[in-house]
Amino acid sequence: MKKLAILGKLETKFKAPFDNPDFDIWGFNYHKIMPPRYTLWFDLHSNNPNPIANITRKNFPFTKCVNLLGGNYFNNTVSYLIAYAILKGYKEIYLYGMRFFDDGERRKREFQNVRELIFFAKGKGITIKAPVDEIMLVEYPTYGL
């Protein structure tokens, strides 16, 4: 099974393994500068999606993602993409070009939601890495130690 890189909008997205054919590359929404390669492009926000989007509100499996988690526990696109990657059978998911922690309360909630999906994936034996934006996977000190 191929590995997957999911690209956010930050410049660190350009650190993704575009030259490695073992990776599928997914992007979403609008980017000022497009990556050199992508396998799928998503626009789940708009009824007038980005013209390059392969996957839009009309053909994204929202119900399957909700059923995977046993409820609607999504508040952002990245969380949906992680769930979709699980449904597609990816065993390694890499996150590039994303940090949510410094953009206000909404971004903090989105960051927490992405972390919930990261933990859900890890619980299913899926490897999740953020090679450049390590904040996505920061571990807390062990309670009581």
Residue 128 in tokens: 């999740």
**pLDDT value of residue 108:** 83
pLDDT digits (tens, 9 = 90+) for 104-130: 788 888 888 999 999 999 999 999 999
Domain ranges of the chain: 3-137
Residues 96, 137: contact at Cβ < 8 Å? no
Residue 103 in tokens: 């953009």
pLDDT digits (tens, 9 = 90+) for 81-101: 999 999 999 999 999 998 766
Residue 70 in tokens: 């046993």
Residue 4 in tokens: 């997957």
pLDDT band at 80 (very low <50, low <70, confident <90, very high): very high
Nearest to 69 by CA among 113, 14, 37: 113
pLDDT digits (tens, 9 = 90+) for 17-76: 999 999 999 999 988 899 999 999 999 987 888 889 999 999 999 999 999 999 999 999
DSSP structure class, residue 122: H
3-137 is classed CATH 3.90.1480.10: yes
**pLDDT value of residue 11:** 92
User: How far apart, in whole angstroms, are the C-alpha atoms of residue 67 and residue 114?
Assistant: 17
Count of residues in the chain: 145
**What is the β-pairing status of strands 92-96 and 23-28?**
unpaired
DSSP structure class, residue 4: E
User: How far apart, in whole angstroms, are the C-alpha atoms of residue 84 and residue 62?
Assistant: 9
pLDDT band at 145 (very low <50, low <70, confident <90, very high): low
For residue 8, pLDDT beyond 80: yes
User: How far apart, in whole angstroms, are the C-alpha atoms of residue 33 and residue 39?
Assistant: 16
**pLDDT value of residue 31:** 87
